[in-house]
Amino acid sequence: MSDTQYLAGSCNIGPGEIRRRQVVAIVGLIFSIISLVTLLTAGAPRSARFGIFVPLLVASVGYVQSRSKFCLAYGFAGTFNMGKMGDLSRVSDSVSRAADRRTASKILFKSAALAAVLTLVIIALPF
């Protein structure tokens, strides 16, 4: 399989879109670190650490999408982009759209689970 070939339920973004998801993962990680440092230096109660879930979710979504070569939003919308940025194509058949929705759901679940586990670890840490 080429890196620039749409494959229903498996690959719906090309190299440019993958790089965009990698950037989202890094930005989410940076915001997560900034949030944690802010919470710790402000002396916020341990329960405030639950708020780190959101930036961790952003990082997780970007990471899982880039590793999967699959955009969950495109999967739910029935679109894909294997070319230049912003050049979306529609998925033509219902079987492929259904496969894409299943994969998008799995990515959303994996991302939320990863963010939840990381959040619980941060809450449990003794600092």
* Average pLDDT taken over every residue of the chain: 94
Q: What is the pTM of this model?
A: 0.90
pLDDT digits (tens, 9 = 90+) for 5-24: 999 999 999 999 999 999 99
Q: Which two tokens stand for residue 81?
A: 């982009």
- In this predicted structure, the answer to whether residue 112 has a pLDDT above a threshold of 70 is yes
The pLDDT value recorded for residue 85 is: 86
Whether residue 56 contacts residue 36, with contact meaning beta carbons closer than 8 Å, is answered with no
In the chain, DSSP finds a helix count (H) and a strand count (E) of: 4, 2
Kind of pairing between the strands at 89-90 and 79-80: antiparallel
